[in-house]
């Protein structure tokens, strides 16, 4: 009887573990798309974001024009809305974006509007590793936004952090950034992809360790693997995942531990 119970308990333990793993997979990936109700919630959010931006005619036309000229896949309309609204609401003077693209122009547009409306001059420092995309987004950015954005080309490097493979930009200007948006560098190169050596975005660890004051807001875009890695590197910090927006809010506070030694 005791043998039977021990096996029964073992079965429930395995079953419970499998169910939890399945629920975690459903929540963080929103897959399978056709049967996972969360995927429909995300589509609805994207629909609302699209209509919100469409009502802002200049912003909508700007995005459409950029999409025609850019080879970048870009981000979602939900992201465009989020980034635009954050800049307009918080009116930051120093913004950092890791991973340049159409999102860079959207934030620069919001910074320009802040300056025209409130005389608050903000600057976006945006970083890209690929020379082609760097030149392209720089060339298609409207001239009237170039006072509000500084494009930086920086090589992608990798290293081990807490026995995890990390990707980062070789050099980043450290300022007292009020808002940081993380969407780069790439998690693997073409050669790494062949052997499955995926990394996580680790620049934020170096940035936080060198800043005097933590940013008001840090967002990570749709990188669940990076989120789990950062949970290990920032053990005292709450990382809040919003599955609807696909964004992770990194709630780092001054004095919290930053583990980045191999």
pLDDT tens-place string over residues 96-142: 999 999 999 999 999 999 999 999 999 999 999 999 999 999 999 99
Please indicate, yes or no, if residue 55 is contained in any of the structural domains: yes
Query: Prior bond to 32 cis, omega within 30?
Result: yes
Indicate the pTM of the whole model.
Answer: 0.88
pLDDT at 16: 52
pLDDT tens, residue by residue, 39-65: 888 899 999 999 999 999 999 999 999
pLDDT at 72: 73
- Which domain covers residue 101, as residue numbers? 46-251
List the CATH number of the domain containing 171. 3.40.50.150
- Sign of torsion, CA 104 98 244 197? positive
What is the bridge-based pairing of β-strands 94-98 and 247-251? unpaired
Please indicate, yes or no, if residue 257 is contained in any of the structural domains: no
pLDDT at 32: 72
Please indicate, yes or no, if residue 163 is contained in any of the structural domains: yes
pLDDT at 35: 74
pLDDT at 20: 56
Please indicate, yes or no, if residue 18 is contained in any of the structural domains: no
pLDDT at 260: 85
Report the chain's mean pLDDT, rounded to a whole number: 88
- Sign of torsion, CA 105 221 203 196? negative
Rounded CA-CA distance 98/34 in Å is 32
Please indicate, yes or no, if residue 1 is contained in any of the structural domains: no
Residue 3 CA, chain-centre distance (Å), reads 50
pLDDT at 11 over 50: no
In terms of Cβ atoms closer than 10 Å to its own Cβ (0-12, 13-18, 19+), residue 240 is: exposed
Structural domain count, the chain:
1
Please indicate, yes or no, if residue 15 is contained in any of the structural domains: no
pLDDT tens, residue by residue, 217-256: 999 998 889 999 999 999 999 999 998 999 999 999 999 9
Across the range 72-88, mean pLDDT stands at: 89
Across the range 191-207, mean pLDDT stands at: 82
pLDDT tier, 19 (very low <50, low <70, confident <90, very high otherwise): low
Please indicate, yes or no, if residue 230 is contained in any of the structural domains: yes
Please indicate, yes or no, if residue 30 is contained in any of the structural domains: no
């Amino acid at each position: 009887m005791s043998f039977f119970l021990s096996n029964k308990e073992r079965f429930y333990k395995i079953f419970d573990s499998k169910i939890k793993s399945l629920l975690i997979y459903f929540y963080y990936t929103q897959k399978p798309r056709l049967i996972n109700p969360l995927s429909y919630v995300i589509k609805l959010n994207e629909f609302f974001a699209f209509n919100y931006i469409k009502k802002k005619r200049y912003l909508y036309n700007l995005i459409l024009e950029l999409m025609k000229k850019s080879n970048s896949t870009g981000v979602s309309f939900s992201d465009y809305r989020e980034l635009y609204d954050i800049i307009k609401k918080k009116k930051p003077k120093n913004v950092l974006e890791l991973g340049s693209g159409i999102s860079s122009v959207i934030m620069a547009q919001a910074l320009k509007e802040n300056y025209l409306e409130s005389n608050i001059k903000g600057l976006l420092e945006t970083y890209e590793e690929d020379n082609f995309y760097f030149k392209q987004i720089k060339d298609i950015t409207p001239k009237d936004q170039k006072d509000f954005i500084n494009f930086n080309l920086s090589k992608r490097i990798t290293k081990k952090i807490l026995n995890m493979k990390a990707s980062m930009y070789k050099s980043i200007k450290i300022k007292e950034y009020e808002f940081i948006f993380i969407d780069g560098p790439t998690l693997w190169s073409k050669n790494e992809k062949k052997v499955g050596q995926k990394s996580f975005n680790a620049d934020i660890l170096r940035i936080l360790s060198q800043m005097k004051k933590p940013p008001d807001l840090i967002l990570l875009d749709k990188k669940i693997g990076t989120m789990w890695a950062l949970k290990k590197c920032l053990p005292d910090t709450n990382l809040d995942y919003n599955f609807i927006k696909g964004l992770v809010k990194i709630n780092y506070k001054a004095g919290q531990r930053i583990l980045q030694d191999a």
